[in-house]
Amino acid sequence: MTSSIDNIETMLKKLRYLNPKGCDRTIDLMSYSNDIHIDDKTVQELQLITISRKADKLQGVLDKLEIQIMKSCGFNFAIHNIPTHASDLVTDVVTPTNYENIRATLEQFGKVDQLKIIRGTVYTRFSNSNVCNSTHSLINNMQMGENIINTLVV
């Protein structure tokens, strides 16, 4: 699968001008594991976009790639659009949204086995997959700092 992953990375670099943040985040996420499985249909769709250069189609393929890579890496939950800084609700002090703060927040919902922050997205593996659904229903479309976050359960 390595040659396919290298090929996908090359295609994403060529398409980067259409969606820089999405392509960069996908490339960074792919680098997190050596054992990534992407289905042939998604690779073919990406190849067609490389030829057609249709930005509106790229986002859908990036979404499919993200889910497949998350599954390969063992992540079962993602939070998109986290801000770089946010105010603490208790103290009103502005703090960075770093691993320590994100982990402490997510641990309130359930045990976090794995956590990775990539370009404004938090990828998490909760020990109990039921926690993913309950956390999703609680925080999806919630405001964090100035941003509205969106969550994804895989």
Query: Which CATH number goes with the domain that contains 133?
Result: 3.30.70.330
For residue range 84-134, list pLDDT tens digits in order.
Answer: 988 777 788 888 889 998 999 999 999 999 999 999 999 999 999 999 999
Instruction: Calculate the alpha carbon distances from 53 to 4, 18, 42, 63 in Å.
Output: 20, 8, 16, 17
Looking at the fold, whether 18 and 30 belong to one and the same domain comes out as: yes
Domain boundary among 50, 73, 96: 73
Assess whether 83 and 145 both reside in one domain: yes
Q: Are residues 33 and 8 in the same domain?
A: yes
Taking all residues of the chain, what is their mean pLDDT, rounded to a whole number?
Answer: 92
Task: Give a three-class secondary structure readout of the chain.
Answer: CHHHHHHHHHHHHHHHHHCHHHHHHHHHHHCCCCCCCCCHHHHHHHHHHHHHCCHHHHHHHHHHHHHHHHHHHCCCEEEECCCCEEECCCCCCEEECCHHHHHHHHCCCCCEEEEEEECCEEEEEECCHHHHHHHHHHHCCCEECCEECEEEEC
> Do residues 55 and 102 share a domain?
no
**Could you tell me the pLDDT band of residue 4, with boundaries at 50, 70 and 90?**
confident
Token couple for 90: 């208790």
Q: Do 60 and 104 belong to one domain?
A: no
Domains: count for the chain = 2
Neighbours of 41 (CB within 10 A): 10
Instruction: Answer yes or no: is pLDDT of 47 > 50.
Output: yes
Q: Are 36 and 81 found together in one domain? A: no
pLDDT reported for residue 128: 94
Residue 91 is predicted with a pLDDT of 83
Residue 43 and residue 68 share a domain? yes
Query: Is there a single domain that holds both residue 69 and residue 84?
Result: no
pLDDT number for residue 144: 86
Shared domain check, 81 and 38: no
Specify whether 68 is located in the same domain as 85.
no
**Can you give the residue range of the structural domain that contains 108?**
77-153
Tell whether pTM > 0.85. Answer: yes
Residue 2, pLDDT score: 47
pLDDT, tens digit, 9 for 90 and up, residues 53-76: 988 899 999 999 999 999 999 999
Residue 3's pLDDT band, with cuts at 50, 70 and 90, is low
Question: Does residue 91 sit in the same domain as residue 65?
Answer: no
